[in-house]
Structure 1
Amino acid sequence: MRKISPEERITMRQTYIQKILNTIRTQGFMSLTIQDIAQLMNISRATLYNYFSSKEDVMMEVTNYCISYIHKADKTISDESLSYPYRLQKVFEQAVFSAIYASDIFLHDLQTSCTLLYEKKMKFETNRMATIRSFYQKGMDKGIFNTLNPAILIMQDEVSIRKMLTSSFLIEEGLTLRQALSDYYEAKKVQVLKSEALEDADNEKIHLVIENIVNNITTI
């Protein structure tokens, strides 16, 4: 058997994890067997065990994958060298991917089966909320954002985006996910940014962000 380097193991673990995220988001984790997970990853059980020691190890990698994304996004949102309109797009992007990577059913399974991982995930979630609150407040203090309640803005994203990720809502409203996300961001942009700051918002960039989100959801 070919020896797998540490670097290759890390890369392949993340690659395989991406293939099961959508199932975990919609169906949870507890009901999946190792055979189910291997089939979703499109590999054999033997290959799976080359990269993961157990079902719990898979769950740990999923959780760490989510946390890693949140951490990277937080760094961008906190970067004062970047414009506020651009960072607002990152807040939106982070909210969408957080809803994808950490659905209610996944968090319930995590809390039930691995308390330590759940607590680790929720600690990072608390830090994420603090980062966003600070971002909104600083934008208001500098006169770039309209004066709004940061807690309400955060709750609005959490509730609305999770709703948009359900196929029943999209079918009922006759929307594609791409259109729903695009319309929501346009409304959010006008809601948050003052009129003079709206001129600095690069719509081309947000279109690329939404395409990336849609492609990730349809391929995981």
Structure 2
Amino acid sequence: MGRKSIHRERKDKTKKVEQWTQALLPKLAQTELGELTIDDLALLMNKSKSTIYQYFVTKEEIFEYITQVRIDQLKTYKNEISGELSGLNYQYETLAKILAEGVKDISPFYLKQLQIHYPDAWNIIEDFLQGLLKDLKEFYILGIENNMFKTVSPELLIKLDEYFIMQLITDHTFFNNNRQTLESAIKEYMYIKFEGLVLK
């Protein structure tokens, strides 16, 4: 017979909790997430299980929290894009830097594992990416209308982004074979795309 769960109030998550949960990411780069227990996570975070339970009820909640914190950090891209566009002073390096920073310490294998074992956490990422794709499409259209970008099909550009963003980031076989990181791939992808788009 399983242990009965006890309902208790959880503590508010502090900056310290954010730091020791985010520090998990590089440790999980090649880990089968489905096999992890709360004990394993506590050990990796160098915390007691009772400390973990002060803030989280389940493993799912831990991964949802880790994901939400990173996504919240990534949302700064929107202000950067709109600010630069309105001033017609776009530099693709800004977006590349923000997105590359957002995937720091995250491996494609980790993302694939998250997608398989923690769908609620993955949905947080997917919602963000869908929003990013929508914003990018508007960005391409505005850039073309303001003669910043060459006249190309925004639909084609978004289709390319969709493949890169929605499929390649979880293709750990590609990254293993090419010895690239998500961070370096994003920087290269953005360079190739926007150097080709920007009017000289």
- Fold conserved between structures, TM > 0.5: yes
Aligned-partner residue type, residue 57 of structure 1: E
Any gaps of 5 or more consecutive residues in structure 1?
196-220
Correspondent of 1:151 among 134, 142, 158: 158
Question: Which residue of the partner structure matches residue 169 of structure 1?
Answer: 178
> Matched residues in 1 for 2:157 and 2:188: separation?
21
Question: Which residue of the partner structure matches residue 212 of structure 1?
Answer: none
* Alpha-carbon spacing, 1:69–1:153, altered in 2? closer, same or farther (3 Å): farther
> Matched residues in 2 for 1:95 and 1:160: separation?
15
* Alpha-carbon spacing, 1:69–1:179, altered in 2? closer, same or farther (3 Å): closer
Correspondent of 2:46 among 36, 42, 49: 42
Give runs of aligned pairs for residues 1-220 of structure 1, distance below 5 A.
Answer: 6=12, 9-24=13-28, 26-79=30-83, 80-81=85-86, 84-86=89-91, 88-96=92-100, 97=102, 100=106, 103-111=111-119, 114=120, 118-148=122-152, 149-155=156-162, 157-158=164-165, 166-170=175-179, 183-195=188-200
> Matched residues in 1 for 2:145 and 2:42: separation?
51
Aligned-partner residue type, residue 144 of structure 1: M
> Matched residues in 1 for 2:22 and 2:134: separation?
27
Any gaps of 5 or more consecutive residues in structure 2?
1-10
CA RMSD of aligned residues (A): 3.5
Q: Tell me the alpha carbon deviations over residues 48-96 of structure 1, each in whole angstroms, 9 at most, x when there is no partner.
A: 233333323202202312331342222322334455533x224324544
Identity of aligned residues (%): 20
Aligned-partner residue type, residue 195 of structure 2: V
> Matched residues in 1 for 2:70 and 2:142: separation?
26
> Matched residues in 2 for 1:136 and 1:179: separation?
23
1:69 partner SS:
helix
Aligned-partner residue type, residue 192 of structure 2: A
2:75 partner SS:
helix
> Matched residues in 1 for 2:58 and 2:169: separation?
32
Aligned-partner residue type, residue 85 of structure 1: Y
**In proportion to residue count, which structure has more helix?**
1
